Amino acid sequence: MIVGEHRNWVDGTDGPVAGGSAAPLTTSMTAVVLVGACHGRPDMYSIRSILRDGLIGSGSVAVAMRALLTQPDVSPARLVRLLERDASLLPVLWPILVESIRYTSDLDGAAPRWLNRVLDVALLHAPLLREAGRRGLIPAEEAQWPGLDTLASRLGRSAASTKAKALVAALSPAEPHSVQERPDVLGGQGRG
């Protein structure tokens, strides 16, 4: 390591290097941010800032969620708090919902305790999620909500089953489009 005389070695000043933008976080660092939102009293301001600044993408969230869902200390119910309070994070965090449902559909036995909360938040944002899928802002495979039909039919008469069935209906493309223009939520896409 070489220590420079100035912080900004390019311009020879003590300020930050100008013109550089932060590189996106790796999938591993994305997992660290998501785990941080699950424990104790997380610094939600910092987490939202990382998400809004584009340091994390939905692809890395999907990969991280696939790994994290197998861990007993990770609760998607805590992660969806971010989405419940701030729909503008949907372009980055929608994989929390999709991957949680996909994971649960592959489980044998009782559904995890956190599933009801995930379904509640998915139902809350179902019109936006349906529209994002229609516009191609969510990849086609994920916009089909893999495993949701399985959950809706498998869970019997539980609250999760009722919510899963309601989500299937709410995400159905046959429903009339009632989403008002929300370019801030749907990835900045306007009419067109």
Question: Does residue 41 form part of some domain?
Answer: yes
Question: Does residue 1 form part of some domain?
Answer: no
Cα-atom radius of gyration of the chain, to the nearest Å? 19
Question: Does residue 11 form part of some domain?
Answer: no
Question: Does residue 17 form part of some domain?
Answer: no
Do 134 and 177 touch, CB atoms closer than 8 A?
yes
pLDDT tens digit string along 85-130? 899 999 999 999 999 999 999 998 888 999 999 999 999 999 999 9
Question: Does residue 136 form part of some domain?
Answer: yes
Position of tokens 């609250």?
A: 159
Question: Does residue 151 form part of some domain?
Answer: yes
Tell me the three state secondary structure of residue 155.
coil
Per-residue tokens: 31: 């997992």
Note if the pTM is more than 0.85.
Answer: no
Residue 71 in this model has a pLDDT that exceeds 60: yes
Percent of the chain with pLDDT over 90: 53
pLDDT tens digit string along 14-39? 766 666 566 688 899 999 999 988 88
- How many domains would you assign to the chain? 1
Do 147 and 153 touch, CB atoms closer than 8 A?
no
Domain around 164: 27-171
